Amino acid sequence: MSSAGLNVSPEHVQQITDARRIASSALAYAEVKELRAHMRKQREEFGEDLEDDEDEDDEDDEEEEDDMPLAPQSVADILKGGKRAAADKAAPNSKVAKTDAAKPTTTKPDSKAAAPPTAAAAKPAAAVKPPAPKTVKLGGGLEYVDMQVGGGPPATKGRTVNVKYRGTLTNGKQFDAGTIKFRLGGREVIQGWDMGVEGMKVGGKRTLRIPPQLAYGKKGAPPTIPPNATLLFEVQLKSV
């Protein structure tokens, strides 16, 4: 029977080989015994004293029997040994399995979990700046910008208006400031004022840029306003 048919391990095959070797030794031992018996028979024929030889033979036989195994290992024992070897091989794996089972399992944190907000995310959005006031250009080179649109009644030609003001030159030098009442469009003030204040609503604020031809012209208003001076005014309509 081949080792492949028994489906045994290499250790099992080695044990079968040892058993065969022992069986061969036992067979040789039987042949030696038979040869010695034949020699005793011949001695008897020649009248030799066989008792001494038998004693010696018995002693030799005992020594050889002590060295010789009683019987070769049975196939059943070999198979059992092979099963034990296979079990021994499987044992380390089971130990490893138990060791792995004993190890505590660690759960990795979910990389997709919500992370704390970064500095960039936590930074509030910048406030949206209101659009810059629009510059309006009128005839004669007059320009004005509504810094604040009022909510009251509008200033129209022929109505008396109350205006708070501050006047400077283009170099930033202030030449006048105060409050004034006049009839709009009645030429009671410079032409630039009649044109620039018209259309304002009570509570509104406006800046005026008045060229020389709509202000004091070539002569100016000495000593505070030089000739051909462009005038800048900040005006607020108080009432109509």
Q: Is 182 a catalytic residue?
A: no
Coil, helix or strand at residue 174: strand
Q: Is 29 a catalytic residue?
A: no
Q: Is 144 a catalytic residue?
A: no
pLDDT reported for residue 79? 45
Alpha-carbon span 208 to 231, nearest angstrom = 8
Number of CB atoms found within 10 A of residue 110's CB: 7
**Catalytic site residue from 194, 210, 216, 225:** 216
pLDDT reported for residue 32? 65
Q: Is 165 a catalytic residue?
A: yes
The pairing of strands 174-183 and 205-210 is unpaired
pTM above 0.75, yes or no: no
Please choose, from the candidates 151, 156, 142, the residue with its C-alpha nearest in 3D space to the C-alpha of residue 231: 142
**What is the distance in angstroms between the CA of the first residue and the CA of the last residue of the chain?**
128
Please name the residue ranges forming H helices in the chain: 3-6, 10-46, 50-67, 75-102, 119-122, 191-197
CB 170 within 8 A of CB 240: no
**Catalytic site residue from 175, 180, 194, 210:** 175
Instruction: Identify the H or E element spanning 198.
Output: none
Torsion over CA: 18, 19, 22, 28 (sign): negative
**Mean per-residue pLDDT pooled into runs of 10, the chain (240 residues):** 54 70 68 74 62 51 48 47 50 49 56 56 70 91 96 96 98 96 96 96 98 96 95 97
**Catalytic site residue from 165, 194, 210, 225:** 165
Q: Is 190 a catalytic residue?
A: yes
